[in-house]
Structure 1
Amino acid sequence: MKMIDVSRELFSTPVYPGDPEPYRDPVRRMELGDVCNLSGFYTGCHSATHVDAPRHFIEDGDTIDQIDPARLIGSCTVVEARGVITGSDIDEIVPCAQKMILFKGQAFLSQSAAFALTAAGVTLVGTDALSIETDKDDAFPAHKELLGAGVLILEGLELSEVEPGDYRLIALPLLLGGAEASPVRAVLISEEKLDFDRS
């Protein structure tokens, strides 16, 4: 069994434009004579590697504490893609993929791609970009389409060392009552070399 950490470090990862900057506050420091080291920290819910719950864009959608953690554990497929992914691209991908799909290559989803993913019954979509869609589209149609259908969104992954193919994903959020998102520690587990082509 091989475990791959696909999380980004919280305090050093660039934030999405307009999001709050995370920081750590060392309250006690042994080097200054304190009995122990003790820190507080501040972060936005969408910092580094994080999962979006429906409440992010759906007014009455589930918050992060209402999401069953089991929905963030399971078989996934890493797909390499660049540029803007369309609905036609998704139609080619889903027959060869698990119900959780992670996109490697800083790709972005169009609204038609989001619609095709929901229509295919995908339960989670992940990306190694800061967001599943570009910051040029401030209407966020892909977010709204996916979250409105209950599809979870995992953003800010570190997939540079991950080969395309099938893995087991574990990406558990913090239990943040009422929050629309949460940072996660995400790992991929590969138990054997898997063939991506299922034809």
Structure 2
Amino acid sequence: MIDISLPLDWNLITYPGDARYEHYDYMTHEKNGVHITRVIMETHSGTHIDAPFHALPNGGTMSSIPLEHLNGPATVVEVNGNAINAQDIPGTVEKRVLFKTKNSGLYDSFHEDFCYISESAGKRLVDLGVETVGIDYLSIEQFGTKGMKVHKILLEKGIAIIEGLMLKDVKPGRYELMCLPIRIDTDGAPCRAVLK
């Protein structure tokens, strides 16, 4: 198995304006006879899934995303440009498509010039009947754009979005994706994603 999730730790980068991940000793063996850690994070920290409500005011929350969409055969597509365009997507892909880009090497600090999914690519993924789209950075949208257009193209059609994947050591090809969000019914949720 290949773990394609980002570790949740103090070094986790965040999108500008988002709260940073933190964790503290809440109880300790010395004081309480047990150790419990308090974790402070946003639903879109690290490797996570976007629910429709993240971009659509009347969209569903995490419970609206079938777990079947997040688990099963997946295609890892490698794109070397600054944007993922319709022509970068093969004609035949699995129901789950993960994009490996230059982004997997950008997790040292936030970079505004990360590779993103274009509107034309979003529409092509809809036309191909994809159920889940993943990318190896904090957002599928081009940095600085307004309106979350690509999110809306995908989420309006019930396509799940996984952001924050680590695909640096993954070769393009066919895999089995296993991706489970924590069971929290909000606009998104952290998840653990692995390929087999």
- TM-score range with shorter-chain normalisation? 0.7 to 0.9
From 181, 184, 194, the counterpart of 1:173: 181
Structure 1 residue matching 2:91: 3-state secondary structure: helix
Counterpart check, 1:157 vs 2:165: yes
Q: Distance in 1 between matches of 2:67 and 2:143?
A: 29
- Structure 1 runs not aligned, ≥5 long: 190-199
Structure 2 residue matching 1:94: 3-state secondary structure: coil
Q: Distance in 2 between matches of 1:114 and 1:10?
A: 29
Counterpart check, 1:86 vs 2:85: yes
Aligned length: 182
Q: Distance in 2 between matches of 1:141 and 1:132?
A: 10
Q: CA deviation at 1:27?
A: 0.9
- Encode CA deviations 1:15-47: one digit per residue, 9 max, x unaligned: 1111111211211123x4541211111110100
Structure 1 residue matching 2:24: 3-state secondary structure: strand
Q: Distance in 2 between matches of 1:139 and 1:157?
A: 23
TM-score normalized by structure 2? Answer: 0.88
Q: Distance in 2 between matches of 1:104 and 1:132?
A: 12
- Encode CA deviations 1:81-117: one digit per residue, 9 max, x unaligned: 1311112323xx132x211110011231111110111
Structure 1 residue matching 2:134: 3-state secondary structure: strand
Correspondence for 2:28: 29
Q: What percentage of residue pairs aligned between the two structures are identical?
A: 37
Q: Distance in 1 between matches of 2:91 and 2:193?
A: 22
Q: Distance in 2 between matches of 1:70 and 1:125?
A: 13
Structure 2 residue matching 1:154: 3-state secondary structure: strand
Correspondence for 1:131: 139
TM-score normalized by structure 1? Answer: 0.86
Correspondence for 1:194: none
Residue identity matched to 1:94: G
- Encode CA deviations 1:107-135: one digit per residue, 9 max, x unaligned: 31111110111111111110111111222
Structure 2 residue matching 1:175: 3-state secondary structure: coil
Q: Distance in 2 between matches of 1:10 and 1:138?
A: 28
2:65 and 2:160 in contact (8 A); partners too: no
From 2, 5, 10, the counterpart of 2:3: 5
Q: CA deviation at 1:58?
A: 1.3
Q: CA deviation at 1:149?
A: 1.1
Say what the alpha-carbon RMSD is for the aligned residues.
Answer: 1.3
Residue identity matched to 2:78: E
- Poorly superposed stretches of 4+, deviation over 3 Å: none
From 120, 128, 136, the counterpart of 1:120: 128
Correspondence for 2:17: 18
From 94, 99, 106, the counterpart of 1:98: 94
Q: Distance in 2 between matches of 1:101 and 1:26?
A: 38
- Structure 2 runs not aligned, ≥5 long: 104-114
Correspondence for 1:46: 44
- Encode CA deviations 1:38-91: one digit per residue, 9 max, x unaligned: 11111101000001111111122110023222221110011111311112323x
